[in-house]
Structure 1
């Protein structure tokens, strides 16, 4: 069965205006944080994406009253009647989402137990849940692995601890924050991720009554409190979606104004965008991204944790780099398996080779582990329409960009994956004068 099929008539510059709402990498986590409160929470700027639907369903299963005004983008979450959910229901609602692992800390505080099914997510790298389980164990949780999933209990409650991350993992940092804020005593997290979405989650928790301090050396201190209240918060805009549309404008020779985009969240991307030859205008209500004419320039770029060049930015950018003059090098240091999407681009006419070596930058943790984590892109190469299958969320949107930039007709299968992180992307394509038809 075809899981979403789109026909794209390429070779047309994208032109027009779109709006980007709250970040996919923040909104579901802020929704989970509402479990920690004793009073209702209100979250604004919420996009209508699959992950929001999944977390809404999981919260409802646990007794949280969820009211979502989709037009206004406002979520009201009342956790006053939190209860344990049935295992089968959790498994059915979670699907391939990895969000349920973040329910554990809040549920252990509220109910003394938690259950998570087998976890899915985009197949872009090794993201084992054992990392999360070790963190929960350090707080005092007891982990029992069952056939249907994992059951956690906290017979003696959760206690503050010291955690040192070997890598600034966003998920591990979120897990620690959501667990530490109500643990007994103090928690020190070393090697924390400090992405804007993490800082926004810190803001949410502080509004609820948490005591959190973030040092400049990636150390976060949390003093546990006995009780948290609800919050009122407006989610920061999605910088990944913003960069995706910016790259689409560049690859197609277009001009796209992104309402809601914030310069302060995009600094590193904007620098690379300009180096490649793209242009942008920052306004109070958003950012205009456009191709100013002339040849695009090849570059060398290395992904990294914030404030470096974000891993989720590289896949859309690679499509634009196929149209740049010369040889570009992209070194991926965050996820070890993120260049699988380039096979479809090569099928469309791109000249991309992937390597196991750390090219164009410093040696990274994947250099000796036999992963293809560097890409060399030679250009410019005309792209031709083709039949392609979406591999994952960000790679899928990159395939869509390639289809929009290519001459001729493409059929893109599996676009339902894109719904996970791009709100109303079909209507946005229409507003940008793209010629697309959904076939299934």
Structure 2
């Protein structure tokens, strides 16, 4: 059969935050209709963004002609980490913002200090008081040379969102290379930003005075696509995963092929085939930043390896506390040692 892939949540949330930078409407298509993206839309409304997104629709129109508030309160930000990403756009567009620090996360510590250090490098004054980040750059942000001490998708995206309206050039080194960062850069460039080097560890952003709007199709969700690919491999099916892109899933495709799964690129997506009469082969996997094996597909691949003929070793290098699924698989009869 065939199954379509939704737009990527991790990209859509940052694209929604980008609407705060645009003086004209930003229209997103292939929007994933999820609790998180709906929640981000509600936060944007509280900041003065006009949001038109009918229930069940995949087209969302956002217009931030006038930003009426620069405060993102704790009750909103604590429910979802990604809402913290309104800080950079508000700081860049208005010159000040007060945003609650995000709440805890079920998959380990994910501090935002890299985000704040990037803004300070661009000339922002930052104070943390009673769980709130108070940031100001009343004369505007300035371009900066920022070297991240380790690869961070969130910090890379957030620094990009702030730098597009900064005075002068910003260089981000040791930047993350995930496809969602490229999606954000392509959308911002369509609005008038000047970003180059995305998809590589060095991103250059030449600041502009203002951004207009655009219409942008949200990139397909590679984690959802990868999950469907693994499901088809597990069941021994023949499935076309519509919208899946081989260039976004290289590490997974390599592992599936090593396990004995056939992966074919077609015009509409990826076809996954496996002979159900033959056992899968074991594959060792280590999670790594893109283009390595994605941490968000580690649990699914572990489940697949439970039915392989032999022993696999899976090492998690991105997040601590990310083997919580292992005991549940063991309850189903899997032989797993952590």
1:158–1:205 Cα change, 3 Å: same
Aligned equivalent of 1:79, options 47, 64, 82: 64
**Are the counterparts in 2 of residues 43 and 74 from structure 1 also a CA contact under 8 Å?**
yes
Aligned: 1:66 with 2:51: yes
For 1:221 and 1:289, the matched residues in 2 are separated by 37
Tell me the CA shift for residue 259 of structure 1. 2.0
Matches within 5 A, 1:356-375: none
User: Greater CA deviation, 190-199 or 68-77?
Assistant: 68-77
Residue aligning to 1:326: 310
For 1:72 and 1:315, the matched residues in 2 are separated by 30
Residue aligning to 1:308: 292
SS of the residue corresponding to residue 309 of structure 2 reads strand
Matches within 5 A, 1:107-256: 107-120=90-103, 122-214=105-197, 218-256=201-239
SS of the residue corresponding to residue 62 of structure 2 reads strand
Aligned equivalent of 1:258, options 220, 231, 241: 241
SS of the residue corresponding to residue 84 of structure 2 reads helix
Matches within 5 A, 1:23-34: 23-34=8-19
For 1:215 and 1:47, the matched residues in 2 are separated by 23
**Greater length-normalized contact order (CA 8 Å, ≥ 6 residues apart):** 1
1:187–1:85 Cα change, 3 Å: closer
Tell me the CA shift for residue 65 of structure 1. 0.7
Q: Structure 1, residues 10-44: CA drift from partner, whole Å, max 9, x if none?
A: xxxxxx43221211111110111111111111111
Which 5+ residue runs of structure 2 have no aligned equivalent?
none
SS of the residue corresponding to residue 200 of structure 1 reads helix
**Are the counterparts in 2 of residues 36 and 109 from structure 1 also a CA contact under 8 Å?**
yes
For 2:8 and 2:275, the matched residues in 1 are separated by 28
For 1:212 and 1:233, the matched residues in 2 are separated by 16
1:96–1:157 Cα change, 3 Å: same
**Are the counterparts in 1 of residues 6 and 224 from structure 2 also a CA contact under 8 Å?**
no
For 1:106 and 1:324, the matched residues in 2 are separated by 47
Q: Structure 1, residues 225-258: CA drift from partner, whole Å, max 9, x if none?
A: 1111112111110010011122222233444432
SS of the residue corresponding to residue 187 of structure 2 reads helix
Aligned: 1:340 with 2:318: no
Would you say how many aligned residue pairs link Structure 1 and Structure 2? 337
Q: More strand per residue: 1 or 2? A: 1
SS of the residue corresponding to residue 336 of structure 2 reads strand
For 1:247 and 1:17, the matched residues in 2 are separated by 14
Aligned equivalent of 2:274, options 291, 298, 318: 291
**Are the counterparts in 2 of residues 100 and 116 from structure 1 also a CA contact under 8 Å?**
no
Tell me the CA shift for residue 264 of structure 1. 2.3
Tell me the CA shift for residue 148 of structure 1. 4.6
Once superposed, what is the RMSD of the aligned Cα atoms? Answer: 1.9
**Are the counterparts in 2 of residues 140 and 156 from structure 1 also a CA contact under 8 Å?**
no
